[in-house]
A and B are shown apart, each in its own frame.
Chain A
Amino acid sequence: MLNGTEDEEKWLAEGIAGIQHNAFYMHRALDSNNLREALKYSAQMLSELRTSKLSPHKYYELYMRAFDELKRLELFFKDDSKHGVSVVDLYELVQHAGNILPRLYLLCTVGSIYIKSKEAPAKEVLKDLVEMCRGVQHPIRGLFLRSYLAQISRDKLPDIGSEYEGDADTVMDAVDFVLQNFTEMNKLWVRMQHQGPGGVREKREKERSELQDLVGKNLHVLSQIEGVDLEMYKETVLPRVLEQVVNCKDDLAQYYLMDCIIQVFPDEYHLQTLETLLGACPQLQPTVDVKTVLSRLMDRLSNYAASSTDVLPEFLQVEAFSKLSNAIGKVIEAQLDMPAVGAITLYVSLLTFTLRVHPDRLDHVDQVLGACVKKLSNIPKLEDSRAMKQVVALLSAPLEKYNDIVTALTLSNYPRVMDHLDIGTNKLMAMVIIQSIMKNNSCISTADKVEVLFELIKGLIKDIDGADVDELDEEDFKEEQNSVARLIHMLYNDEPEEMLKIICIVRKHTMVGGPKRLPFTVSSLVFSALRLLRQLQGQEGDIVGEEASMTPNKIFQLLTQIIESLSAVPSPELALRLYLQCAEAANGCDIEHVAYEFFTQAFLLYEEEIADSKAQVTAIHLIIGTLQRMNVFGVENRDTLTHKATGYSARLLKKADQCRAVYACSHLFWVDDQDGIKDGERVLLCLKRALRIANAAQQMANVARGSGGPVSLFVEILNKYIYFFEKGNKQITSSAIQGLIELINTEMQSDSTNPDSVADAFLASTLRYIQFQKQKGGVMGEKFESIKL
């Protein structure tokens, strides 16, 4: 069959030519009202349809040509003034044709007129036609003939309210007729698989699927019959259709027809006949894609349930869930070799269904998940990516529905399902869960739930055995870990005790995360703990000491441990910041030794771990800032710490950095609080030292580059002077400020200095400030009076 299609084209062309040729003579006969000739040529024309050489597709083309011609013939038959033969006689006359196919086409054509004439009851004629059509047993020819019959009879069924309605129970006749035609067509369609010219199975299946709508059309007609009410559907239509479906034992037909039934009949019918419909599923051939069928059914029912709340009681009444659930179980049981994706798809559909129909029945959800776990546990390793996707869909569905992870956490089977995901998907799912929490701002408030939650998202929390670390995308990883960090903030309980438990659980989980994850999670955890601390303070001090587990000291110990874990990373900068945060918290709790300890840790880190000069600058400023706010320390401790800090400042690498750090240190000796330390002398010392450094920087710049260094340093120092001057530091005099201003002016005018607009503006606004203070008058005005600009 090298040029099979070519041949087919040729045969089709021949067939069309034959039809046209005979149609021409038929038209001539019609025009001259010659019935005998008309019958002769129409029969010859229809004989072209007797070909066996065409594929369904091409045959259809031929059929349509003949169909159009038959319409003209029908008009002629209808008008008995033209041919003078009564319709009854005509009905006999066309049966004289020797060949069966033309004979039956003509019979159907006249039959339709016979019904219209109402000279015989519609049901009799229909019955006769559908019976006579048995003579064509060739699948394709039979299908098209019967489809012609269905076509011409569609508007002539003795339906309720139809003009062809007979005396009693004629809907039944209409239904019987359509059912019979359907049954016969389906038989022919199924037979196609086993008959006809040999060929590859796939080709035949393709050909058959081209014809499926011819068969399905009958079901559509059935659904359109007015008189098919629920009762009739339940008692007659569905059982008979299903009987045919089941008995035909053909996978293609079973799949298509089941789907067809689901699609063409109304939802409430399905609901009321669920048992029957589902009962047919396990009886289908094992190769039938039952899962898609069931999925579609459940989707339809879900949509139906969603369409209106009025219908929900119906669902309850018929126990739709348990029926569906049973059916699915049976199908999965029966079809052992159904791929995992199939089974899971079914569960997803069932889950969607129950979520829509019984949103209040969490047990249903859990039941579905449980069933899924059972199925999954029989599969050693889920590797099918489509199956994975379905599992994700399965797990996402409850999250979307309830907008609340808390609900999902109560589902005992939820984590068990997650266990069956591969690492990547597991992570993905974990992200979905976290995103859901974020989106809905849900607060996870008990330790148990947190435990479950972290069990769920363990894919993100730690390396799982066998994971290929190299494949990790850096950005994805950051995104994931940031999400985990954010999640930690969502865990909250007003009860400190519970909160502590939560923190401990989180710590337990996060500590195993390894050096890459810790920097992300530890800070969240630390701040979470610090929040607990504040919470504890907020609740009066009476709890303190009463319960051993809940002292701030305990929490601080915990904090220390948490931060220490960072040493493994190592991430000294982060650890330093956290220590400082903790120190500040300890300050808030008024626990000096703890605060001191944290500072010690911070300093140690600074000394031992932070080598980068930039990082040092940042760190030293942080240290100074924090230390400045500490009020818990006694003189001795404070001196030690400030001394250290000042010392570090002076040992920074760059002069400018040194200078800035040193003048920042000045604040350590002047805390603008009521009982803050106010050591004017040491402030001045710091500032002078800063000035010296600035000078040195200037000179170094001159030497090195032949141009002036940063004037801005001087301006910055000037600002410090002004600050302390305003604050009433007696050591800072107006003359000192005066001198500094002059110094700056000189520096700026020296030709070696590069003009620096930023420094200029800075100076200008500083001077403007002084001017402003002078003009303001009052105490401050007097103070500034002596400064000459």
Chain B
Amino acid sequence: MNFLIGAFKPACNISITFSDGKSRKQVPMKKENGKTIMVSLFQSKESIAGKVSIEPLQGKKIEHLGVKVELLGQIEMYFDRGNFYDFTSLVRELDVPGDIYERKTYPFEFSTVEMPYETYNGANLRLRYVLKVTVSRNYGGSIVEYQDFIVRNYSPPPSINNSIKMEVGIEDCLHIEFEYNKSKYHLKDVIIGKIYFLLVRIKIKNMDLEIRRRESTGSGANTHVETETLAKFELMDGAPVRGESIPIRLFLSPYELTPTYRNINNKFSVKYYLNLVLVDEEDRRYFKQQEIAIYRQQDS
């Protein structure tokens, strides 16, 4: 197939670099092929500047109808393969039609770009930001090169952050009262709380706290919901008696969480839930699910 590769080899190498690429924070990103690469991290309203250099293969010239760079924010639904929704699309023309004989470098800048949504890799969709360089040609098709980058947006600590406190139970069987210290947690936060047993008539084997992610895509009849359990944290071993109070301390940092996303571009939502699960000796599960909001806090 070597000749084929040679045949379809693009006529030039295109590279895209960010002007502050060396100092900018790099974060890992999982590719479709499962490999992890390091990419630059941006947040909304940053200027994205850099250079595109085009280097034709030795002794070849490229005739083109123009060179442009686009900044795209896309939402890609897996169940609707190939269906992209660009929620952001900015274009900078880099060159007028002409020929490129040798390596040519074009600086570009998108200043103060609105990137309201974060990069997200979910079960059924992904939200990506990408720089797309297109060398348009008449024949042989255009030459296109992509450069991914990641966007994360930070939120200030919420001004109101109430605790979650609730009494639940099954009549004459199990009554508990649980409390989580907040309803909104940042990604490196700790969930502190306790479970108080008001009535225990079943033989409980253990109790876990789960963190579940609920990703819903689409709307109306086409809604797809995918729920994943990201954490299963054992809170209690053995059967408590009435009056026992079991502490909760769950560090969120070890888990791969994202902030809560609500109705992103009318396409999807990602929500997080704390699921308190009690398992009895017959392996029956009793649970209570509570939504929590997760936000990204600026590292101090």
Which of A131-139, A394-402, A580-588, A608-616 forms part of the interface with chain B? Answer: A131-139
- Which residues of the partner chain B approach A137 to less than 8 Å between Cβ atoms? 236-241, 244, 246
Query: Is A191 positioned at the interface, with any CB of B under 8 Å from its CB?
Result: yes
**Across the interface, do A134 and B247 meet the contact criterion of CB distance under 8 Å?**
yes
**Across the interface, do B249 and A132 meet the contact criterion of CB distance under 8 Å?**
yes
8 Å CB contact of B234 from A98, A191, A195: A98
CB distance from A580 to the nearest CB of B (A): 89
| Proximity bits, A32-45, B CB within 8 Å = 1, else 0 | 00000000000000
Query: Is A100 positioned at the interface, with any CB of B under 8 Å from its CB?
Result: yes
**Across the interface, do A98 and B241 meet the contact criterion of CB distance under 8 Å?**
no
- The verdict on A135 contacting B235 (CB below 8 Å), with A95-B249, A96-B251 known, is yes
- Which residues of the partner chain B approach A135 to less than 8 Å between Cβ atoms? 234-237, 246-247
**Across the interface, do B234 and A141 meet the contact criterion of CB distance under 8 Å?**
no
Query: Is B232 positioned at the interface, with any CB of A under 8 Å from its CB?
Result: yes
CB distance from B235 to the nearest CB of A (A): 6
> How many residue-residue contacts, CB under 8 A, span A and B?
55
Query: Is B106 positioned at the interface, with any CB of A under 8 Å from its CB?
Result: no
Within the assembled complex, what's the spacing in Å between the Cα atoms of A138 and B249?
19
**Across the interface, do B236 and A99 meet the contact criterion of CB distance under 8 Å?**
no
Query: Is B287 positioned at the interface, with any CB of A under 8 Å from its CB?
Result: no
Within the assembled complex, what's the spacing in Å between the Cα atoms of A723 and B232?
125
- Which residues of the partner chain B approach A101 to less than 8 Å between Cβ atoms? 237
Query: Is B233 positioned at the interface, with any CB of A under 8 Å from its CB?
Result: yes
**Across the interface, do A98 and B233 meet the contact criterion of CB distance under 8 Å?**
yes
**Across the interface, do A191 and B241 meet the contact criterion of CB distance under 8 Å?**
yes
Query: Is A363 positioned at the interface, with any CB of B under 8 Å from its CB?
Result: no
Query: Is B254 positioned at the interface, with any CB of A under 8 Å from its CB?
Result: yes
CB distance from B74 to the nearest CB of A (A): 35
CB distance from A690 to the nearest CB of B (A): 107
8 Å CB contact of A134 from B203, B245, B254: B245
Within the assembled complex, what's the spacing in Å between the Cα atoms of A134 and B196?
11
**Across the interface, do B254 and A136 meet the contact criterion of CB distance under 8 Å?**
no
- The verdict on A139 contacting B238 (CB below 8 Å), with A96-B251, A98-B233 known, is yes
**Across the interface, do B238 and A95 meet the contact criterion of CB distance under 8 Å?**
no
**Across the interface, do A100 and B236 meet the contact criterion of CB distance under 8 Å?**
yes
Within 119-162 of A, Cβ neighbours of B (below 8 Å) are at 131-132, 134-139, 141-142
CB distance from B256 to the nearest CB of A (A): 13
Query: Is A50 positioned at the interface, with any CB of B under 8 Å from its CB?
Result: yes
Within 194-249 of B, Cβ neighbours of A (below 8 Å) are at 203, 206, 231-241, 244-247, 249
Within the assembled complex, what's the spacing in Å between the Cα atoms of A98 and B251?
11
- The verdict on A195 contacting B239 (CB below 8 Å), with A95-B249, A131-B247 known, is yes
- Which residues of the partner chain A approach B254 to less than 8 Å between Cβ atoms? 96
**Across the interface, do A132 and B247 meet the contact criterion of CB distance under 8 Å?**
yes
**Across the interface, do B237 and A138 meet the contact criterion of CB distance under 8 Å?**
yes
- Identify the interface centre among A96, A101, A142: most chain B CB within 10 Å of its CB: A96
- Which residues of the partner chain A approach B253 to less than 8 Å between Cβ atoms? 96
CB distance from B117 to the nearest CB of A (A): 30
CB distance from B236 to the nearest CB of A (A): 5
Interface size for chain A: under 10, 10 to 19, 20 to 34, or 35 or more residues?
20 to 34
Query: Is A782 positioned at the interface, with any CB of B under 8 Å from its CB?
Result: no
Nearest B residue (CB) for A101: B237
- Which residues of the partner chain B approach A96 to less than 8 Å between Cβ atoms? 251, 253-254
Nearest B residue (CB) for A194: B241
**Across the interface, do B232 and A98 meet the contact criterion of CB distance under 8 Å?**
yes
- Which residues of the partner chain A approach B251 to less than 8 Å between Cβ atoms? 92, 95-96
**Across the interface, do A138 and B247 meet the contact criterion of CB distance under 8 Å?**
no
Within the assembled complex, what's the spacing in Å between the Cα atoms of A96 and B234?
10
- Which residues of the partner chain B approach A100 to less than 8 Å between Cβ atoms? 206, 234-237
CB distance from A89 to the nearest CB of B (A): 11
Within the assembled complex, what's the spacing in Å between the Cα atoms of A100 and B208?
9
Within the assembled complex, what's the spacing in Å between the Cα atoms of A100 and B254?
16
Within the assembled complex, what's the spacing in Å between the Cα atoms of A141 and B241?
16
- Which residues of the partner chain B approach A136 to less than 8 Å between Cβ atoms? 236-238
Within the assembled complex, what's the spacing in Å between the Cα atoms of A463 and B266?
112
**Across the interface, do B238 and A138 meet the contact criterion of CB distance under 8 Å?**
yes
Within the assembled complex, what's the spacing in Å between the Cα atoms of A135 and B209?
12
**Across the interface, do A141 and B237 meet the contact criterion of CB distance under 8 Å?**
yes
Within 181-238 of A, Cβ neighbours of B (below 8 Å) are at 187, 191, 195
Within the assembled complex, what's the spacing in Å between the Cα atoms of A92 and B238?
24
Within the assembled complex, what's the spacing in Å between the Cα atoms of A137 and B203?
12
CB distance from B205 to the nearest CB of A (A): 9
CB distance from B90 to the nearest CB of A (A): 42
CB distance from A88 to the nearest CB of B (A): 13
CB distance from B200 to the nearest CB of A (A): 10
- The verdict on A142 contacting B238 (CB below 8 Å), with A95-B251, A96-B251, A96-B254 known, is yes
| Proximity bits, B137-172, A CB within 8 Å = 1, else 0 | 000000000000000000000000000000000000
Within 63-116 of A, Cβ neighbours of B (below 8 Å) are at 92, 95-96, 98-101, 103
Within 709-761 of A, Cβ neighbours of B (below 8 Å) are at none
**Across the interface, do B249 and A141 meet the contact criterion of CB distance under 8 Å?**
no
Nearest A residue (CB) for B206: A100
- Which residues of the partner chain A approach B240 to less than 8 Å between Cβ atoms? 137
- Which residues of the partner chain B approach A50 to less than 8 Å between Cβ atoms? 237
Within the assembled complex, what's the spacing in Å between the Cα atoms of A191 and B244?
12
Within the assembled complex, what's the spacing in Å between the Cα atoms of A187 and B245?
13
Nearest A residue (CB) for B236: A135
CB distance from B290 to the nearest CB of A (A): 20
Nearest B residue (CB) for A96: B254
Within the assembled complex, what's the spacing in Å between the Cα atoms of A142 and B238?
9
Within the assembled complex, what's the spacing in Å between the Cα atoms of A139 and B244?
13
Within the assembled complex, what's the spacing in Å between the Cα atoms of A781 and B244?
119
CB distance from B17 to the nearest CB of A (A): 34
- Which residues of the partner chain A approach B246 to less than 8 Å between Cβ atoms? 134-135, 137
- Which residues of the partner chain B approach A191 to less than 8 Å between Cβ atoms? 241
- Which residues of the partner chain A approach B247 to less than 8 Å between Cβ atoms? 131-132, 134-135
CB distance from A142 to the nearest CB of B (A): 7
Within the assembled complex, what's the spacing in Å between the Cα atoms of A325 and B75?
87
CB distance from B280 to the nearest CB of A (A): 13
CB distance from B184 to the nearest CB of A (A): 21
Within the assembled complex, what's the spacing in Å between the Cα atoms of A131 and B194?
11
- Identify the interface centre among A101, A135, A187: most chain B CB within 10 Å of its CB: A135
Within the assembled complex, what's the spacing in Å between the Cα atoms of A139 and B234?
17
Nearest A residue (CB) for B244: A137
- Which residues of the partner chain B approach A92 to less than 8 Å between Cβ atoms? 251
| Proximity bits, B252-269, A CB within 8 Å = 1, else 0 | 011000000000000000
- Which residues of the partner chain A approach B237 to less than 8 Å between Cβ atoms? 50, 100-101, 135-138, 141-142
CB distance from A44 to the nearest CB of B (A): 14
Within the assembled complex, what's the spacing in Å between the Cα atoms of A103 and B233?
10
- Identify the interface centre among B233, B238, B244, B246: most chain A CB within 10 Å of its CB: B238
Within the assembled complex, what's the spacing in Å between the Cα atoms of A137 and B251?
22
Within the assembled complex, what's the spacing in Å between the Cα atoms of A683 and B124?
151
CB distance from A26 to the nearest CB of B (A): 20
- Identify the interface centre among B232, B234, B247: most chain A CB within 10 Å of its CB: B234
Nearest B residue (CB) for A102: B234
- Which residues of the partner chain B approach A139 to less than 8 Å between Cβ atoms? 238
CB distance from B279 to the nearest CB of A (A): 13
**Across the interface, do A99 and B234 meet the contact criterion of CB distance under 8 Å?**
yes
Within the assembled complex, what's the spacing in Å between the Cα atoms of A141 and B234?
15
- Which residues of the partner chain A approach B232 to less than 8 Å between Cβ atoms? 98
- Which residues of the partner chain B approach A103 to less than 8 Å between Cβ atoms? 234
* Smallest CB-CB A-B distances: 5 pairs: A138-B238, A137-B238, A100-B234, A137-B240, A96-B254
19 A-B pairs with CB atoms under 8 Å apart are A50-B237, A92-B251, A96-B251, A96-B254, A98-B232, A100-B235, A100-B237, A132-B247, A135-B235, A135-B236, A135-B246, A137-B237, A137-B238, A137-B241, A137-B244, A137-B246, A139-B238, A187-B241, A195-B203
B interface with A by C-beta (< 8 Å) = 203, 206, 231-241, 244-247, 249, 251, 253-254
Seed contacts A137-B237, A137-B240, A137-B241; 6 additional CB < 8 Å A-B pairs:
A96-B254, A100-B206, A135-B246, A136-B238, A138-B239, A142-B237
A interface with B by C-beta (< 8 Å) = 50, 92, 95-96, 98-101, 103, 131-132, 134-139, 141-142, 187, 191, 195
